[in-house]
């Protein structure tokens, strides 16, 4: 696989933007602008195109092929400062992935008047092209965007309860032999939503709240102590009822361990009563005859 070098990609894009009358500003963001050395061959090019008219970019796809021939595409839209914005993600046949964010130029003016950069830009940005000098007064990135803030006691307690709430769905679904839903709750909701946040707080405590974690657990293996990562990895099992019960046990033990350490470091009490009562509830469900067994005896 031959992937073009960053300089060649950016030179091509800047030349295209310079020649395109509607493109007024071109800004590179995210991984390729951060000083932490996390860029690799497969890193995306996250590119903001600030344009004087969004319609040709939002409702016509021909421009996407100006860089190279697309292999696969994905689209979305949103808002920024109450103005419509558009996302066009493209992987090209030369293996370059570019995530285009299409902004009306008015968004740049709004940013210039704000006391702080939005997180997307504060995490890192590089102006590649600015025909009208709209970014001239912008603040420099602090590279603090998306770094988790220290939770309050209420936020800590709420996350612990959210985890224990989710465990009840795993137990009930296992009793019902509804394994697809069980796996979703266990592997996505409990691990990637709740446990991940607790693990990130633990990482931030160890790094003085200075690390930007990756989205949805990205990079966790490199940020966690090896022992914690090994315990986390052991919670992924096959689509088997008994193995899933054992994985839930390991997940609960890991969450409890990390949550107690985080609470101790932050001076927050761990909700032990919730732990005790829900643990007993889970064990009661585990001891029940299966629903299939009950149906067979009706």
Distance CA 235, CA 170 (A): 13
CB atoms inside a 10 Å sphere around CB 45: 20
The answer on 285 and 240 residing in a single domain is yes
Question: Which residues span the domain enclosing 198?
Answer: 153-296
Q: What is the mean pLDDT of residues 177-188?
A: 95
- Angle subtended at Cα 275 by Cα 205 and Cα 258, rounded to the nearest 5 degrees: 20
Q: Which of 130, 162, 180 is the last residue of a domain?
A: 130
- Residue 185 DSSP one-character state: I
**What tokens appear for 264 in the block?**
């101790």
Give the pLDDT confidence score for residue 140 in this predicted structure.
94
Residue 268 has pLDDT above 60, yes or no: yes
The answer on 219 and 109 residing in a single domain is no
The answer on 170 and 109 residing in a single domain is no
The answer on 282 and 218 residing in a single domain is yes
Say if 142 falls within a structural domain.
Answer: no
Terminal Cα distance for the chain, rounded: 61
Taking a C-beta distance cutoff of 8 angstroms, is the pair 252, 167 a contact? yes
Q: How many helices (H) and strands (E) does the chain have?
A: 12, 6
Residue 60: which CATH number?
3.30.460.10
Q: What is the mean pLDDT of residues 178-197?
A: 96
Residue partners of 162: CB distance under 8 A and separation at least 6:
193, 194
Distance CA 130, CA 48 (A): 11
Helix (H, G, I), strand (E, B) or coil at 21: coil
- Residue 4 DSSP one-character state: -
pLDDT per residue as tens digits for the range 247-266 = 999 999 999 999 999 999 99
The answer on 61 and 180 residing in a single domain is no
Residue 176 has pLDDT above 80, yes or no: yes
Residue 292: which CATH number?
1.20.120.330
Q: With b meaning 16 or more CB within 10 Å and e meaning fewer, what string describes 162-180?
A: ebbebbebbbbbbbeeebe
Give the pLDDT confidence score for residue 293 in this predicted structure.
56
The answer on 228 and 122 residing in a single domain is no
Q: Which of 130, 145, 161 is the last residue of a domain?
A: 130
The answer on 239 and 124 residing in a single domain is no
Q: Domain count of the chain?
A: 2
Residue 297 has pLDDT above 70, yes or no: no
Give the pLDDT confidence score for residue 294 in this predicted structure.
54
Distance CA 201, CA 149 (A): 9
Q: Which of 64, 97, 130 is the last residue of a domain?
A: 130
Residue length of the chain: 298
Percent of the chain with pLDDT over 70: 97
Q: What is the DSSP string of 209-231?
A: S---PPGGGTTHHHHS-HHHHHH
pLDDT per residue as tens digits for the range 105-161 = 999 999 999 999 999 999 999 999 999 999 999 999 999 899 999 999 999 999 999
29 vs 295: which has the higher pLDDT: 29
pLDDT per residue as tens digits for the range 16-40 = 999 999 999 999 999 999 887 778 8
Average pLDDT across the chain, whole number: 94
The answer on 267 and 214 residing in a single domain is yes
Q: What is the mean pLDDT of residues 280-289?
A: 95
Q: What is the mean pLDDT of residues 177-184?
A: 95
The answer on 166 and 126 residing in a single domain is no
pLDDT per residue as tens digits for the range 49-73 = 999 999 999 999 999 999 999 999 9
Say if 1 falls within a structural domain.
Answer: no
The answer on 182 and 87 residing in a single domain is no
Say if 89 falls within a structural domain.
Answer: yes
Give the pLDDT confidence score for residue 242 in this predicted structure.
94
**What tokens appear for 261 in the block?**
């350490």
Residue 232 has pLDDT above 70, yes or no: yes
The answer on 161 and 67 residing in a single domain is no
């Amino acid at each position: 696989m031959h992937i073009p070098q960053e300089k060649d990609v950016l030179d091509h894009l800047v030349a295209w933007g310079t020649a395109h009358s509607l493109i007024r500003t071109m800004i590179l963001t995210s991984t390729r602008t951060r000083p932490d050395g996390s860029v690799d061959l497969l890193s995306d090019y996250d590119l903001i195109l600030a344009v004087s008219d969004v319609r040709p970019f939002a409702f016509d796809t021909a421009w996407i092929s100006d860089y190279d021939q697309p292999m696969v595409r994905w689209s979305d839209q949103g808002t920024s400062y109450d103005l419509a914005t558009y996302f066009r993600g493209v992987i090209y046949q030369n293996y370059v992935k570019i995530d285009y964010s299409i902004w009306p130029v008015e968004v740049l003016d709004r940013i210039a008047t704000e006391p702080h950069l939005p997180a997307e830009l504060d995490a890192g940005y590089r102006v590649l092209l600015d025909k009208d000098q709209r970014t001239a007064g912008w603040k420099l990135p602090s590279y603090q965007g998306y770094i988790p803030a220290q939770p309050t006691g209420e936020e800590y307690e709420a996350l612990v309860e959210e985890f224990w709430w989710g465990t009840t769905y795993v137990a009930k679904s296992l009793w019902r032999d509804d394994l697809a839903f069980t796996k979703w709750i266990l592997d996505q909701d409990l691990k990637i939503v709740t446990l991940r946040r607790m693990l990130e707080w633990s990482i931030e405590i160890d790094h003085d709240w200075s690390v930007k974690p990756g989205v949805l657990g990205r990079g966790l293996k490199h940020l966690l102590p090896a022992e914690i990562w090994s315990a986390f990895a052991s919670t992924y099992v096959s689509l088997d009822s008994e193995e899933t019960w054992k994985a839930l046990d390991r997940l609960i033990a890991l969450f409890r361990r990390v949550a107690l350490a985080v609470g101790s470091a932050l001076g927050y009490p761990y909700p032990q009563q919730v732990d005790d009562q829900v643990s007993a509830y889970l064990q009661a469900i585990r001891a029940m005859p299966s629903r299939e067994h009950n149906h067979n005896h009706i």
